[in-house]
Structure 1
Amino acid sequence: MASIEDLASLPMSRGQFLKLTTAACALMATGAGAQTSPPIMHRRPIPVSGGTLPVVGCGTWQTFDDDPKRQDELAEVLRTLFASGGSLIDSSPMYGAAEAVAGRLLTRIDGHAKAFVATKVWTRGRQAGIDQMEESERLLQHRPIDLMQIHNLVDWRTQLATLRDWKAQGRIRYLGVTHYTPSAYAELESVMRAEALDFVQINYSMDDREAERRILPLAAERRVAVIINRPFGGGGLIRSLQGRALPAWAADIGCTSWAQVLLKFVLGHHAVTAVIPGTGQVRHMADNVRAGFGEYPDDALRRRMMAEL
């Protein structure tokens, strides 16, 4: 079977590329035509429930826009995620039209049953929080919301009380908190120690490892699932690696691109449950999901990766 890289090198229209890429991912995920058992994206435990979550998902920040010309490709992004065995889609009211776009696309491709939908509440006040979450339900067209998170800890005491009520009512399956900067880690650590949380979402990448000091160990101690945002260091890290040849050890963990190397570094940490690189391009989604298969670096290789990169 042709690889995603092989497909990308062939002369073809964007529409042809989208169709062939999706078909290739489906074959990779189902093992069609193969004599061996089909590969399955790795899944990791959600400690509070005993459920599991595929390790590579999709973020929607600055990628799921409302441009009519982009909707076909965005639909293929989601199809590619699902074809690989992935399910996690992360959004927020802060992300412009992303919730509405994701909801329409999931309905269009009949993807709600395959999706693990995470979004956030990002406002102050009890009723304002309720109104915003109800609007997210409407836009995402997904009930119950799988994971509702308090975005950047905004008014977290007020919103957490509502999230507990909603979880008890079955309106959400899981609750959590998020942040994206180490400057908030002291407050985040305090919340994690004081409150029972199902998930925490934080930034972590090879060039931004502050989370290793306290947040990731604490999540493991408290049995909290961890979603990682900004795995490429905001994009600067991966751009700095473009054009460099992959080191020989990349093949040892099944990596054929720098994106996969960086994602597998993150997933090599035992406390990480899933990673959500944001993309609105099928080519990138097909590359990212391959980090959900094969081997992950052990501690010795992770140290070597940090030293060499």
Structure 2
Amino acid sequence: MQKRTITKNGQEISALGFGAMRLPTKNGRINKEEAKKEIFYAIDTGVNFIDTAVPYHGGASESFLGEILSGEYRDKVNISTKMPPWSVKKYEDMENILDKQLEKLQIERIDYYFIHSLGRGSYKKLEDLGVSRFLDKAKADGKIKYAGFSFHDNPEAFKEIADAYDWDACMIQYNYMDEENQAGKSGLEYAASKGMGIFIMEPLKGGHLAGDVPERTLEIWERAEVKRSPADWALRWVLNHPEVTCVLSGMNSQEQVEENLKVAGEVQPNSLTPEELKLYAEVKEVYKDLTKVDCTSCGYCMPCPVGVDIPGCFEIYNNKYMFNDKRAPFSYLIRMGGVMSGNESNAGLCIDCGKCVRACPQKLSIPELLEDVSNELEGHGFSYKVKFGKSVVMPMMDAFIALQHRFSRSSSKN
């Protein structure tokens, strides 16, 4: 397994990291034996970064890792988890959440502590509550070693957040279809210029680039001199970037682990040939033909006067058609409805002021397109769905996690 060095702290991280969000399951719960076998195999083969978060597997992922990562295996890996901003109402919440995570993970210090799913609005809320002071104190107290943030917004917001604190690392969505979306290539390069460790999530775009892909894309890949699976091609593209420290993959089978280990062991930065890069461009054109909105996510339409995340709305809308994404309505509710961030940015907020139309280099009829998005992904009663999500779903998640925490404490005493 190749290692890549983080400029800022000099630490060598495996090019492949194990994401503990999609572990194998049985009867709706983590299949502990299978998951343990896969994680240990990955570590024995050189993976030294394991990533989790509070919501993963309904709150069970952190506790599971706490059960299995002890002794020699704890010494071999960096453990990463994330603080959920949606559960923070006051400064003390940040300290309490971190302490609970340390207990669940059964460790004294978290190696990499990311603030989860940040955007401009959610970061401002946390900054007002003292998140910078919290991170400094957590480091000084030895509860976390390195601080970072995971990100879902536009390039401008990424740079603002990257400059707002002395971050050690960031986690961004990046794949050959998202080169200009969210943080994008400009964010990748900006983080690298600051020496941060750069961890990549969604290298397969939630599995869309590896599963039931269009037949036309398979025909293009078949023309390559070396035959590879769509998943291999997708991972290879990300690892080809010298700025990337580690690609996080949510693996849930031994076959996936072995394939990803092979790719991560082979691909060196800037190793793709010009001929191979041309194939990626052709595949992207196939997906582009399937898009509903020809939005490049340039961000010139932003900020919207009423808070609509215009590129974000179009991204989810396009995903529905490009990848036959049946999860699009749920993703839209969570992201654009502000269930997690607290800031609604859905298409239905549009007031047709025309500012975005005047700014759009593509000359898109943005208000009309937003109406299409709203009709298809919001439908009737969207505001009630948002209220339900904010008032019921997330508190239920917090309550479930708290209950599990109390159970794990009582079990450890017996």
Query: Smaller-chain TM-score range?
Result: 0.7 to 0.9
Contact (CA 8 Å) 1:204, 1:229: kept in 2 or not? yes
Contact (CA 8 Å) 1:53, 1:273: kept in 2 or not? yes
Q: In the alignment, which of 120, 127, 131 is matched to residue 92 of structure 2? A: 127
Higher relative contact order (CA 8 A, sep 6+): 1
Residue type of the partner of 1:120?
A: K
Looking at structure 1, the residues matched to 74 and 25 of structure 2 have their Cα atoms a distance apart, in angstroms, of 19
TM-score, structure 2 normalization: 0.58
Q: In the alignment, which of 95, 99, 123 is matched to residue 62 of structure 2? A: 99
Point out where structure 2 has 5 or more consecutive residues left out of the alignment.
284-414
1:100-115 → structure 2 map (5 Å cutoff): 100-107=63-70, 111-115=73-77
Contact (CA 8 Å) 2:203, 2:235: kept in 1 or not? yes
Change (3 A) 1:136 1:294: same
CA positional deviation for 1:65 = 5.8
CA positional deviation for 1:184 = 4.2
Q: In the alignment, which of 154, 157, 175 is matched to residue 147 of structure 2? A: 175
Query: Partner residue of 1:199?
Result: 169
Looking at structure 1, the residues matched to 201 and 232 of structure 2 have their Cα atoms a distance apart, in angstroms, of 15
Looking at structure 1, the residues matched to 92 and 251 of structure 2 have their Cα atoms a distance apart, in angstroms, of 33
Query: Partner residue of 1:11?
Result: none
1:153-192 → structure 2 map (5 Å cutoff): 153=118, 154=122, 155-157=125-127, 158-179=130-151, 181=152, 183-192=153-162
Change (3 A) 1:68 1:234: closer
Point out where structure 1 has 5 or more consecutive residues left out of the alignment.
1-40
Query: Partner residue of 1:33?
Result: none
TM-score, structure 1 normalization: 0.77
Q: In the alignment, which of 180, 202, 205 is matched to residue 233 of structure 1? A: 205
Contact (CA 8 Å) 2:24, 2:30: kept in 1 or not? no
- Taking only the aligned residue pairs, the percentage that are identical comes to 23
Q: 1:108-131 deviations in whole A, cap 9, x for unaligned?
A: x85211121100111322211111
Secondary structure, counterpart of 1:151 in structure 2: strand
Query: Partner residue of 2:295?
Result: none
Runs of 4+ in structure 1 displaced over 6 angstroms?
Answer: none
Contact (CA 8 Å) 1:44, 1:273: kept in 2 or not? yes
1:1-309 → structure 2 map (5 Å cutoff): 41-63=1-23, 70-95=31-56, 96-107=59-70, 111-123=73-85, 124=88, 125-153=90-118, 154=122, 155-157=125-127, 158-179=130-151, 181=152, 183-210=153-180, 211-241=183-213, 244=218, 246-247=221-222, 249=224, 251=226, 256-296=228-268, 297-298=271-272, 300=274, 303-309=277-283
Looking at structure 2, the residues matched to 236 and 139 of structure 1 have their Cα atoms a distance apart, in angstroms, of 32
Q: 1:84-138 deviations in whole A, cap 9, x for unaligned?
A: 100211111122211111211224x852111211001113222111111111111
Residue type of the partner of 2:166?
A: A
Looking at structure 2, the residues matched to 143 and 247 of structure 1 have their Cα atoms a distance apart, in angstroms, of 49
CA positional deviation for 1:303 = 3.1
Residue type of the partner of 1:70?
A: N
Contact (CA 8 Å) 2:24, 2:34: kept in 1 or not? no
RMSD (Å) for aligned C-alpha atoms: 2.5
Looking at structure 2, the residues matched to 69 and 184 of structure 1 have their Cα atoms a distance apart, in angstroms, of 34
Secondary structure, counterpart of 2:263 in structure 1: helix
